[in-house]
Amino acid sequence: MRKRNTILVVVAIVGILLATPAWSALLYSNGSINGIDTAVAIDSGMWASDSFTLSNNSILTGAQVGLWVDSGVIPLTVNWSIGTEPNDTTYGSGTATLSNALNNILTDRGTDVYKSDFSLNGTLVAGTYWLTLYNAVSSEYSQVFWDLNNGPSQASTSWLADMREFYQDGSSGSNYFQIYGTINSFSVPEPSTLLLVGFSLLGLAGFRRKLKE
């Protein structure tokens, strides 16, 4: 009976070690949606990249961006990538289906503005990365633009390497987006390490039992 209880205790401890504490979180926000002044094109071969900084090791699950389209048109899909520099795919890329909520109707340019959500994937350590959007597609195949809100991120586009050069007042030229995911408070040990821990615990349990006998 003692032997069975010892094994159950070891299994429980190893199970705890395997579990990584995580919770859903807003990992990064680049300010608020603008929807008034301007936006940058992300369709027909054009792209835009914005930097974001993660304070913790994180697993990405999704993003929200602000998209402008012609009145009555709906954003459908967008290609995304994440890397260490603008237009880089080092840490993942994909084509995402958009889930849209109408934010503004008819801006001063006659366009609708949506808050568009899509799924992301990838595990990143704390640090600075770049989110790139490109090849966006809308219903009726009209142009798609990424809301420019001059948030704290740096920005780069297919037509200007540093969007700050577009302004005389030091504005960033970055776009509205939010990154969501889970925060990992510690990394999971390698399987070989867990195996050694398990054997050590078994040995320790046997030693204690021997002392009692």
Question: Is residue 129 domain-shared with residue 196, that is, in the same domain?
Answer: no
Rounded mean pLDDT, 93-100: 98
Long-range contacts of 115-119 (CB under 8 A, 24+ apart): 115/33, 115/64, 115/65, 115/66, 116/64, 116/65, 116/66, 116/67, 116/75, 116/78, 117/62, 117/63, 117/64, 118/62, 118/63, 118/65, 118/78, 118/80, 119/61, 119/62
Q: Is it the case that residue 135 has pLDDT exceeding 80?
A: yes
- pTM score of the predicted model: 0.76
Instruction: Give strand pairing partners of 28.
Output: 179
Instruction: Assess whether 127 and 81 both reside in one domain.
Output: yes
Q: Looking at the structure, tell me whether residues 35 and 129 fall in a common domain.
A: yes
Answer yes or no: do 52 and 154 share one domain.
Answer: yes
Please check whether residues 59 and 162 belong to one and the same domain: yes
Cβ–Cβ < 8 Å for 129, 179? no
Residue 172's pLDDT is: 96
Q: What is the mean pLDDT of the chain?
A: 82
Which range of residues forms the domain containing residue 200? Answer: 2-19+189-212
Partnered with residue 38 across adjacent β-strands are: 148
List the single range of 4-8, 44-48, 127-131, 143-147 with lowest mean pLDDT. 4-8
What is the b/e burial string over 82-94, where b = at least 16 CB atoms within 10 angstroms of the residue's CB?
A: bbeebeeeebbbe
Categorize the per-residue pLDDT at 109 as very low, low, confident or very high, splitting at 50, 70 and 90: confident
Please state the domain count of the chain.
2
